[in-house]
Amino acid sequence: MAIADTSRPVVSGMPAYEGAGMDALRAWVDEIAALTKPARIHWIDGSRAENDALLREMVDEGRLIKLNPEWRPGSYLARSNPSDVARTEGRTFISSVREEDAGPTNNWAEPTAMRAELEGVFEGSMRGRTMYVVPFSMGAVGGPLSHIGVQVTDSAYAVVSINIMTRVGSAVTKLIAEGADWVRTVHSVGAPLAPGEEDVAWPCNDTKYVVHFPETLEVYSYGSGYGGNAILAKKCFALRIASVIGREQGWLAEHMLLIRVIDPKGKAYHVAAAFPSACGKTNLAMLRPTIPGWRVETLGDDIAWIRPGEDGRLHAINPEAGFFGVAPGTGESTNVTAIETLWGNTIFTNVALRPDGDVWWEGLTDEIPENLIDWQGNPWTPSSETPAAHPNSRFTVAAAQCPQIAEDWDAPQGVPLDVILFGGRRATNVPLVVEATDWAHGVFLGSTISSERTAAAEGTLGELRRDPFAMLPFCGYNMADYFAHWLSVGGKLRHDLAPRIFQVNWFRRGADGRFLWPGFGDNSRVIDWIIRRISGEIEAVDSPIGRLPHIADLNLEGIEVPQEDLEELFAIDPASWLQEADLTEEFYATFDGKVPAALQAELESLRYRLKAAQAAVAG
């Protein structure tokens, strides 16, 4: 479609609200428009009719493929540019005034220089395009734990995705008009159109930026139309910026799933869990217990905002309204709940297309289709050398469609937390489950979360990929200060009301390389033990690294796990753990002495207990 150049953008959909807040919002939009020079400005109202019109327009322009409504009603397939398929971590910056506030785990950029650099790339970046103004709320609109923002973007794909992932609409604009604080986010795919120039299905730019300004609560993203680079409400706002807000206001923005576990007596418990990628996070968020009588209701699959309540407990909400999940590996045999969620009204990105107009990806079904169109639009067969779906291909779907979503999943007040879990993917050392002795020990466990790079069959400690609290890519400030903030939040809780903290590891392997634990739905057996622990029904075994189960207390009815495997699942080798303590000390040293003294003390206490255990074995 040829686009004519215009000097003044045509404006549509602007709300009629008045007030100082609305004046500030309009002035900001005008400022961004003057820089980016769009042909049109459209204010998004969040209505179904508006969203449907955007989807139809993208189909007509070749940006989306409408899937067969018989198999996948209301659903679409997008294919990105092959150069734009994932978060751009190397081009993601924290532009704080002081470099030390970004810390060694973030890319830092000096704010004045970065603003000048961004002004250069954003200059005229939306020429020939529509700039959409998208007001959104993270959490229920007006809720006590919620926060709001506005994204301006020249990507209709981003708009329809934000519509799924957040609460979008004029109700948010009304709050801004009435004076509510809001976070400013700016996004451009970085592909201006000259007069008469033909557009492409997925515009983007080889130059990319995702920049956060924590002091002014702003995000600027340029050059990418994909995922978290374009849906700025997600990782950029809900984690990096929100973590900064939480630090100032005394709460936590966390990369955590949120579930309600209901025991056979009908008593409910609430669990938040932090897992790095490829560690079973979505599967746990949609867990179907294999123990009769137990149920799990999904509250959120990726992000939790956690605040102290007036009752002295921590309360958590899922600030998102949708799931943005990795497709490959999600199938009927691994996560039937997710598959049932995707029955329709879903935007798929970079998956394969079947001849019948439905979608497919590796792991969806055990049977591999004979003929597909791959994620780049090329014919594909099982003998093809490349995957049918990109390994980071995605689905975007409303959380409300999940068949086991909790009825009150978006309650503004959130839910009281009983348990916090930390987990990594460890072939060695880390037991199936260990309970922290207190809050400080739990923070220590969270700060040491890691996954092994080495092949599991090698059975050695190997190089560890550190991801403390599963927040390494997402913390908006120095992670040593983040550890201190966790300690501070816990220090203000009553001991008997604070959530109990546990570390889990579904991935420990034997010497022969086998997984020692069946995982998936049987992880409910670990949850069962945890619930009985916090209820005071069972005792635990003290070990140098924390409290472990009596193996006899695990509910193993209906499954067969050899006794030697159970023993290996909880085996603690002091020598290997002392090596692990050395690696933790090396990791802490990267923070130039800023790691809190309480965590350094936890490390030294661990070493003391390990050496005592080693001496006891030696006799």
The whole-number pLDDT of residue 462 equals: 54
Is 279 known to be catalytic? yes
**Angle at the Cα of 89 (from 304 to 167), degrees rounded to 5?**
35
Is the per-residue pLDDT at 294 higher than 80? yes
Structure tokens that stand for 194 in this block:
């000259």
Beta bridge partners of 94: 108, 212
Interatomic CA distance for residues 29 and 13, integer angstroms: 13
Provide φ and ψ at 490, rounded to 5°: -65, -35
Q: Enumerate domains of the chain plus CATH numbers.
A: 10-63+87-249 (3.40.449.10), 253-320+411-618 (3.90.228.20), 322-401 (2.170.8.10)
Structure tokens that stand for 336 in this block:
């039937």
Measured from the Cβ of residue 584, the count of other Cβ atoms closer than 10 Å reads 22
Question: Active site residue: 204, 236, 279, 402, which one?
Answer: 279
Instruction: Please write down the HEC assignment for all residues of 454-496.
Output: CCHHHCCCCCEEECHHHCCCCCCCCHHHHHHHHHHHHHCCCCC
Query: DSSP of 125-161, one letter per residue?
Result: TTTTSEEEEEEEEESSTT-TT-EEEEEEES-HHHHHH
Query: One-letter amino acid identity for 319?
Result: P
Q: What is the pLDDT of residues 39-72, one digit of tens each?
A: 999 999 999 999 999 999 999 999 999 999 999 9
The whole-number pLDDT of residue 234 equals: 95
- Residues 593-616 as b/e (b if ≥16 CB within 10 A, e otherwise) read ebbbebbeebbeebbebbeebeee
The whole-number pLDDT of residue 333 equals: 87
Mean pLDDT along residues 125-149: 97
Confidence band, pLDDT 50/70/90 cuts, at residue 453: low
Instruction: List the alpha helices (DSSP H) in 37-155.
Output: 48-60, 99-102, 111-122
The whole-number pLDDT of residue 458 equals: 38
Yes or no: say if 79 and 375 are a contact pair by the CB < 8 Å rule.
Answer: yes
The whole-number pLDDT of residue 308 equals: 96
Q: What is the pLDDT of residues 362-409, one digit of tens each?
A: 999 999 999 999 999 999 999 999 999 999 999 999 999 999 999 999
